[in-house]
Amino acid sequence: MSGQQQDPLSFEVFKPGSAPDEHGRRRVHRWTPFVQGLQWWPGALVGGVAIMAQSGVSLTEGVLLIGIGTVLVITLIGVGVAYLQWQRRWFWFDDDGDLRVDSGVLSLNRRRLQLSRLQSVDVLQPLLPRLVGLAEVRVEVAGAGDSKVTLQYLTLAEANALRNEIIARSAGVRHDAEEAPENLLAQVPPGDLLVSLLLRAETFGLLLMTVVLFVVTFWNAGPAGLVFLLVGGVPIFGTFAQFSRYYDFTVAESPDGLRLRHGLLQKTRQTVPPGRVQAVGFVQPFLWRKRNWVRVRLNIAGASSHSQGSGDQSYSENVLLPVAPWPVALAIVARVLPGVDLTDIPWQPAPERSRKRAWIQWRQLAVAWDDNVFITRAGRIVERWDVVPHARTQSVRVTQGPWQRSLGLASMHVDSTPGAVKITGHHRDAVEARRLAQEQADRAAVARAGDTSLRWIGRHFTGDGADPSQPDTPQLDPSRPAPPSSDQAALDPRPPVPPTASLSTSDVVPQPPEGTEPGGVEQL
């Protein structure tokens, strides 16, 4: 698959941005203030309509002209502010190869991103910039505080070239090298994506509620009916938002990591760097099981995505696959976590007395481990597998609530970087939980000492996507049986083996990951 894909919605309107000045500094595209200013008017329009509705003003010709004039004034103010910001915004690479960014109108803000600590570099195309062939580049490095910089906007060709240059400089290779080749691994059909969203438990329930609300709206007149109508449309808009975010989801492999492309209204091009994946989670809602579908999400060191949750429980969810058959999911995870085979690890179920603490899902509660990873399983309606490599273990904890204490139970936690994946062995025997925690801390220390992770472009890269230091990755065996049902899985000490995939995968050579120092055990 080529690195450049033709986008039917975009067309080149703007010429390339300004040339570097005498100091080698560059600005973003000269039309950036105009594009940013236009993004103000939808908010101004909605605000104006809301004020009119609240004050009870009727829509007359004079009021309409005043409203249009107000929107234009607000838009011009936005363009003016964006222009002042554009004049003071520069970016360049210094003599050490690091990315420097100067910005600020009233006060100068100087940022230096050390590319040797690069975590992610993504190219995004929101709808309006996408229509005129512009894109933004987001760069994030490891570090405390705000370690992310966004460059708005460049032409799509300039954005891709800048991304390639940043990756090359971070890997210590020629910054003018061509983009690394890539190999298509999987593509999610839009039909499967839509069906998977409709079959999620929360979406299915909300859609049923929507039908009821629309029926109520039919029998109710006035403001109350309008409220029901608006509330009933929430799950529809939520489903469309998810469909739009993951539309045309593709996964490809290159020497600089897995490349993810997706988006209907906003096109996103992400790179999952080798060595930065800290944990992997498999999520399988109840209605997905007959189709043997699974969702794959990641915890990536330093990387961020859309936030979920509320309050202090918010987190960033990085999706590797929004939906895929089990074999496809396992094949792609094998590229992220080389040498990991989740099909032959025996499960250790929770004790039967955990039924008193988790009477619905106690049969699904289990942990497993081998020489490479530690795995936990939980969930009856929505089954979850959470996997963490031993070398990525940051700390190990044992917790025990009053109810657990009365039953002689405890939960064992393996901490990774903040993210959607939480590795917790729920409701284990208290003595066993302490023992597992200590053993996992020991395994993490040994694994971290022998970790030889690579970052970004492999040091043995030969130019064709292969690493001669690694053996070839075999294809999945189509003859493997399908995973057992949840009830069967509770009795079978072996994890389920996925069925034959409907999505295609290709052989590529994985690269070993990079982790963080393991922590210790918090005893009860």
Per-residue three-class SS string for 71-90: HHHHHHHHHHHHHHHHHCCE
Residues 362 and 501 in one domain: yes
Residues 172 and 280 in one domain: no
Residues 70 and 174 in one domain: yes
Residues 167 and 297 in one domain: no
**Structure tokens belonging to residue 197:** 């969203």
In a domain, 377, yes or no: yes
pLDDT of residue 228: 54
Residues 159 and 285 in one domain: no
Q: Which domain range does residue 57 map to?
A: 32-179
In a domain, 368, yes or no: yes
Q: 179, 211, 246: which is the final residue of a domain?
A: 179
Q: Are strands 521-522 and 395-399 parallel, antiparallel or unpaired?
A: parallel
Residues 151 and 45 in one domain: yes
Q: What are the DSSP calls for 492-506, one per residue?
A: -SSPP-----SS---
pLDDT of residue 466: 41
In a domain, 165, yes or no: yes
Q: Which residues pair with 187 in a beta bridge?
A: 250
In a domain, 265, yes or no: no
Q: 118, 145, 179: which is the final residue of a domain?
A: 179
Residues 294 and 163 in one domain: no
Residues 502 and 378 in one domain: yes
Residue-by-residue pLDDT tens, the chain, 524 positions: 444 455 666 555 555 666 677 777 899 998 899 888 887 776 666 666 666 665 666 666 666 777 777 778 878 888 888 899 898 889 999 888 889 999 888 888 888 988 888 888 899 998 888 888 899 999 988 765 567 889 989 999 999 999 988 888 887 777 666 777 889 999 999 999 999 998 886 666 666 676 666 666 666 655 555 555 555 556 677 788 889 999 999 999 988 888 999 999 889 998 887 678 899 999 999 999 999 999 999 998 765 544 444 333 334 468 999 999 999 999 999 888 888 888 888 999 999 999 999 999 999 999 999 999 999 999 998 999 999 999 999 999 999 999 999 999 999 999 988 888 999 999 999 999 999 999 999 999 999 887 766 455 543 333 344 443 343 333 333 333 344 443 333 333 334 433 333 343 333 333 333 433 333 333 33
Where does residue 49 fall: left (phi above 0), alpha (psi -120 to 50 degrees), or beta otherwise?
alpha
In a domain, 518, yes or no: yes
How many residues in total does the chain contain? 524
Specify the number of domains making up the chain: 2
In a domain, 25, yes or no: no
The 10 Å CB-count burial string (b at 16+, else e) for 116-129 is bebbbbbbbbbebb
In a domain, 10, yes or no: no
Residues 45 and 150 in one domain: yes
Q: d(Cα 76, Cα 80) in Å, to the nearest integer?
A: 6
Tell how many helices (H) and how many strands (E) occur in the chain: 13, 23
Percentages (nearest 5) of helix, strand, coil residues in the chain:
35, 25, 40
Number of other CB atoms surrounding residue 365 within 10 Å: 27
Q: Is the pTM of this model over 0.85?
A: no
Which one, of 463, 454, 462, lies nearest residue 510 by Cα?
A: 454
In a domain, 230, yes or no: no
pLDDT of residue 341: 86
Residues 384 and 519 in one domain: yes
Q: Looking up tokens 């999952």, which residue turns up? A: 272
Strands (DSSP E) found in 236-394: 250-254, 257-262, 267-272, 277-285, 293-300, 307-308, 315-316, 318-325, 348-349, 366-369, 373-378, 382-389
Q: 179, 213, 229: which is the final residue of a domain?
A: 179
Which SS3 state, helix, strand or coil, does residue 140 take?
Answer: strand
Q: What are the DSSP calls for 413-475, one per residue?
A: EEE-SSSS--EEEEEEEHHHHHHHHHHHHHHHHHHHHT-----SS-TT--SSS--TTSPPPPP
pLDDT of residue 385: 96
pLDDT of residue 73: 81
Q: d(Cα 275, Cα 298) in Å, to the nearest integer?
A: 12
